[in-house]
Structure 1
């Protein structure tokens, strides 16, 4: 897959861990952007209209939470 995958996450976030685990199981490389470690990542997240994590960005798809159906659909579209 040539489209970059970005996961916005936070510390102690079980749903973030689920999303990252799912992507690893699927063999998908991704960049993790932890909003607790970098204020710019939080600004990017709120700039997209989100206030909570995880948010997974796959191309034009922005997926809030752990939603395997939407994640699989976005991954297959790219």
Structure 2
């Protein structure tokens, strides 16, 4: 299972900042993809069925926003480490 974590974001997104802070606090490395800088990143977000950010992706699992689903995704990543 690919454990590479990607966070689709924009600079002015408060929820995006919260997602990145939580991942950092949990010690989970992640790649940031700013959809406002590269249109291909927005297309990737849309392939997961979302239009906005933040979207956090691990393998084929994607979670939108700063929700309980994000906590479950973090737990999933930590178990797989």
For the criterion TM > 0.5, the same-fold answer is yes
- Count residues with an aligned counterpart: 76
For the pair 1:18 / 2:18, whether they are aligned, the reply is yes
Deviations 1:22-69 (A, max 9, x none): 0000001000000011111011111221101000012332111001x3
CA distance in structure 2 between the aligned counterparts of 1:30 and 1:7, rounded to whole angstroms = 7
How many angstroms does 1:10 deviate by? Answer: 1.1
Q: Which residue does the alignment assign to 1:71? A: 70
SS in 2 for 1:23: helix
TM-score (norm 2): 0.84
CA distance in structure 2 between the aligned counterparts of 1:33 and 1:25, rounded to whole angstroms = 19
TM-score (norm 1): 0.87
**Backbone CA RMSD of aligned residues:** 1.4
